[in-house]
Amino acid sequence: MDTIRHCVIPAAGLGTRFLPATKVLPKEMLPVVDRPLIEWAIEEAMAAGAAEIALVIASGKELIQAHFERQPALEAVLEARGKRAELAAVRHSQELAHITYCRQEEPRGLGHAVLCAAEVVGDNPFLCMLPDDLSHAPTPILAQLRRAWDEVHAPVLALMRVTPDQISRYGCATVSQARGRLHRVTEVVEKPRPEDARSDLAIMGRYVLPGSIFEALRRTPTGVGGELQLTDGISALIAQGPVWGLEFDGELLDVGTPDGWLTTNVRLARELGRGAAVEAGLA
Site for ligand UTP, rule CB under 6 A: 10-18, 27, 56, 104, 107-110, 112-113, 130-132, 256
**Of residues 110 and 159, the one with the C-beta less far from ligand UTP:** 110
Cβ 44 vs Cβ 133: under 8 Å = no
State the minimum distance, in angstroms, from the CB of residue 130 to ligand UTP: 4
State the minimum distance, in angstroms, from the CB of residue 153 to ligand UTP: 26
Which residue is at the shortest CB distance from ligand UTP? Answer: 13
**Of residues 61 and 146, the one with the C-beta less far from ligand UTP:** 61
State the minimum distance, in angstroms, from the CB of residue 256 to ligand UTP: 6
Alpha-carbon distance of 8 to 131, in angstroms, equals 10
Q: Which residues contact 223 (CB under 8 A, 6 or more apart)?
A: 109, 111, 190, 229, 231, 232
**Of residues 194 and 225, the one with the C-beta less far from ligand UTP:** 225
SS3 91: helix
Q: Is 257 exposed, middle or buried (0-12, 13-18, 19+ CB in 10 A)?
A: middle
**Of residues 60 and 241, the one with the C-beta less far from ligand UTP:** 60
State the minimum distance, in angstroms, from the CB of residue 245 to ligand UTP: 18
